[in-house]
């Protein structure tokens, strides 16, 4: 389950104002209901635009993972209606990847009716009735605190980073920022415990004025308000998106965000892994590029649900499976390693063990291992964490202070890394087909311990200047090809005209790909040096949305993709 140590581990000043909040009580058990099939569904893998956004499909085209399977189909809505029709049963969340529902009910008779449905495959309890906490007991949330440090606004060095300078300079991220790589056009889904008052905080003023919070969804209470819950997501968001003139700048201050709440800070049950699954599927459907998850799960309020280290083999827990599925669909999943390094558990949490994601440990501002950062390897021997970033005395914003405060935890090294990855990925991805896995390996290869990884820091501390230069060197022909014009767009004539600039003679393939991933037109031709006017006959192309792909036949990295509409 999510270790609360993954939130804020080791701070000094207790936040009494928040911990006075009463624990929410529930009168119902919660269950994970697996369904047997998706038969007779109104959805089809031949029409993914009915359940995935154009941006989600575009991401798959870029990543090379454009294969739609039955896992992508939404649950058969008739099955959902039959479960919902049972009195006293409430559907909480849905999972298309696992063909499952999260439900709540308090009566064994109600559960028996669900179990009797012919399409129900299995039922697992994921949360028992909450019980009031014993008098005098404390949780790790009760003990969480921040360290305030005196910040003088009159003469802060390192403009524009201010107090955030060390946590970015450790990775030479300023080399990308100086090239105006600030996360533009990258969509980041933050899956967390809540974003208390973020919408009203001055450090996020530009974020909201520029409408870069694209959506907010609460998968816990389903009340649509992620701003009234825990403050942890607020602090996580700040490491990426916060801006305060001369005082602070996050790692990707121009990125856009989906703020998703999956974690109930008042309890610790398997239901939160199920919530995370639904949040990750939502991130997939809206076309998010990166998921940051500063959550991790080891043990639960119900000890019968506890994970064992043996389960952390990268593909056994529900949440690790979901993280890998997200990665297989072209998203870069970045997760905190956990804060149990000094505890008896010692090891990483899940989904930090997931095979295909970027797991981040914590260091201090000099790059030294932070004593609380959970260690690897994964149970199957995979190197975890993959890399590390500053998570000790990291500067973050909370709803309780107008200036940044210091905090400790891999909860912050993870989003710092996610923001840096956004800056590295933002332009090269769409132009040259850099996939999420390419990006993950590039970040690892730029790291300080790449040739000598260990269980504390994995491949070490990435250097984003080095990663960027490596990327540019590998694309030394990248400027040889560019699309100067597409006319008309939308296409309302019998032909499409392209103006393509090439710096040398080059053979290319021009392809029209529909939203089902089918190639509707292929044209291989030889470009001359300079401008090339190209005509594509389109009378046989049905109306709809397409992706125009122009790629070199000899260099797979030389690839241009543009979205076009046909309205013939």
- Out of 76-85, 187-196, 502-511, 512-521, pick the least confident: 512-521
Helix (H, G, I), strand (E, B) or coil at 237: helix
Give the model's pLDDT for residue 249. Answer: 97
Confidence of residue 131 (pLDDT cuts 50, 70, 90): low
For residue 62, pLDDT beyond 80: no
By CB atoms closer than 10 A (0-12, 13-18, 19+), residue 46 is exposed
> What mean pLDDT is reported for the chain?
87
Alpha carbon distance 10, 419 (integer Å): 24
Structural contact between residues 91 and 83, judged by C-beta atoms closer than 8 angstroms = yes
**What is this structure's pTM?**
0.86
pLDDT for 428 equals 57
Integer CA distances (angstroms), 30 to 91, 101, 270, 285, in order: 10, 10, 9, 25
Beta bridge mates, 254: none
Q: Given this model, what pLDDT does residue 5 score?
A: 41
Least confident of 26-40, 217-231, 340-354, 476-490: 476-490
Cβ atoms of 568 and 538 within 8 Å: the answer is: yes
Task: Please tell me what DSSP assigns to residue 295.
Answer: -
How confident is residue 150, by pLDDT bands cut at 50, 70 and 90?
low
**Which has more confidence, 545 or 262?**
262
Q: Classify strands 213-218 and 90-95 as parallel, antiparallel or unpaired.
A: unpaired
pLDDT tens profile 453-480: 999 999 999 999 999 988 877 665 445 7
- pLDDT attached to residue 557: 66
Neighbours of 505 (CB within 10 A): 11
The pair of structure tokens assigned to 499 is 């103006």
**Residues near 453 by beta carbon (within 8 Å), at least 6 away in sequence:** 383, 459, 460
> Which strands sit side by side in the sheet containing 187-192, from one edge to the other?
213-218, 256-261, 187-192, 290-293, 332-336, 358-363, 387-390
Higher pLDDT among residues 501 and 245, named by residue: 245
The angle subtended at Cα 422 by Cα 417 and Cα 423, nearest 5°, is 100
Mean pLDDT of 378-403: 95
403 pLDDT tier (thresholds 50, 70, 90): very high
Helix (H) or strand (E) holding 291, with range, is strand 290-293
**The token pair that represents 297 in the structure block:** 């799960």
Helix intervals (H) in 287-344: 318-328
Cis preceding-peptide flag for 198 (omega within 30 of 0): no
Q: Can you tell me the distance from the alpha carbon of 82 to that of 305, in angstroms, rounded to the nearest whole number?
A: 29
What percent of the chain clears pLDDT 70, i.e. is strictly above it? 88
In the prediction, which pLDDT does 112 show? 95
Q: Which residue has the tokens 């280290």?
A: 309
Q: What is the pLDDT of residues 321-348, one digit of tens each?
A: 999 999 999 999 999 999 999 998 999 9
Please tell me the total number of residues recorded for the chain in this structure: 568
């Amino acid at each position: 389950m999510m270790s609360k140590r993954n939130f804020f581990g080791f701070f000094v000043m207790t936040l009494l104002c928040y911990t006075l909040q009463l624990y929410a009580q529930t009168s119902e058990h919660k269950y994970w209901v697996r369904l047997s099939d998706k038969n007779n569904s109104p959805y089809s893998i031949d029409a993914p635009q009915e359940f995935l956004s154009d941006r989600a499909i575009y991401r798959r085209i870029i990543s090379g993972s454009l294969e739609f399977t039955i896992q992508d189909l939404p649950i058969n809505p008739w099955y959902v209606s039959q479960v919902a029709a049972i009195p006293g049963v409430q559907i909480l969340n849905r999972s298309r990847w696992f063909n499952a529902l999260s439900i709540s009910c308090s009566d064994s008779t109600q559960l028996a009716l669900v179990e009797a449905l012919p399409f129900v495959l299995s039922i697992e309890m994921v949360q028992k009735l909450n019980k009031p906490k014993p008098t005098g007991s404390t949780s790790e949330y009760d003990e969480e605190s921040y360290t305030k440090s005196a910040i003088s606004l009159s003469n802060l060095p390192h403009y524009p980073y201010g107090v955030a300078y060390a946590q970015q300079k450790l990775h030479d991220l300023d080399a990308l920022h100086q090239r105006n790589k600030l996360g533009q056009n990258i969509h980041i889904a933050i899956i967390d415990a809540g974003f208390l008052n973020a919408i009203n905080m001055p450090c996020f003023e530009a974020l909201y004025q520029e409408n870069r919070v694209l959506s907010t969804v609460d998968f816990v209470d389903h009340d649509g308000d992620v701003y009234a819950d825990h403050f942890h997501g607020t602090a996580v968001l700040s490491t990426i998106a916060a801006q305060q003139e001369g005082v602070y700048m996050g790692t990707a201050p121009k990125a856009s965000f989906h703020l998703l709440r999956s974690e109930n800070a008042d309890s610790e049950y398997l239901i939160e892994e199920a919530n995370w699954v639904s949040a990750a599927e939502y991130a997939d459907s809206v076309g998010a590029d990166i998921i940051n998850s500063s959550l991790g799960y080891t043990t639960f309020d119900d000890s019968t649900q506890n994970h064992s280290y043996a389960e952390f083999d990268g593909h056994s827990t529900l949440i690790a499976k979901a993280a890998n599925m997200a990665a297989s669909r072209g998203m870069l999943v970045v997760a905190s390693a956990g804060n149990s390094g000094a505890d008896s558990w010692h090891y990483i949490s899940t989904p930090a063990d997931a095979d295909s994601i970027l797991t981040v440990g914590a260091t201090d501002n000099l790059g030294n291992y932070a004593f609380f950062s959970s260690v690897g390897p994964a149970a199957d021997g995979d190197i975890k964490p993959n890399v590390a970033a500053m998570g000790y005395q990291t500067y973050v914003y909370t709803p309780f202070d107008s200036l940044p405060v210091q905090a400790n935890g891999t909860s912050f090294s993870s989003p710092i890394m996610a923001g840096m990855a956004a800056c590295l990925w933002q332009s090269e991805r769409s132009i040259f087909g850099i996939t999420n896995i390419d990006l993950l390996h590039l970040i690892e290869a730029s790291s300080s311990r790449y040739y000598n990884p260990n269980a504390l820091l994995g491949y070490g501390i990435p250097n984003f200047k080095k990663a960027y230069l490596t990327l540019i060197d590998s694309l030394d022909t990248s400027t040889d090809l560019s699309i100067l014009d597409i006319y008309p767009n939308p296409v309302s004539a019998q032909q499409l005209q392209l103006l393509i600039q090439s710096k040398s003679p080059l053979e290319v393939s021009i392809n029209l790909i529909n939203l089902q991933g089918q190639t509707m037109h292929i044209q291989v031709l030889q470009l001359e040096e300079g401008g090339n006017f190209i005509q594509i006959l389109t009378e046989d192309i049905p109306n709809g949305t397409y992706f125009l792909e122009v790629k070199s036949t000899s260099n797979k990295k030389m690839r241009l993709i543009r979205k076009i509409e046909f309205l013939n």
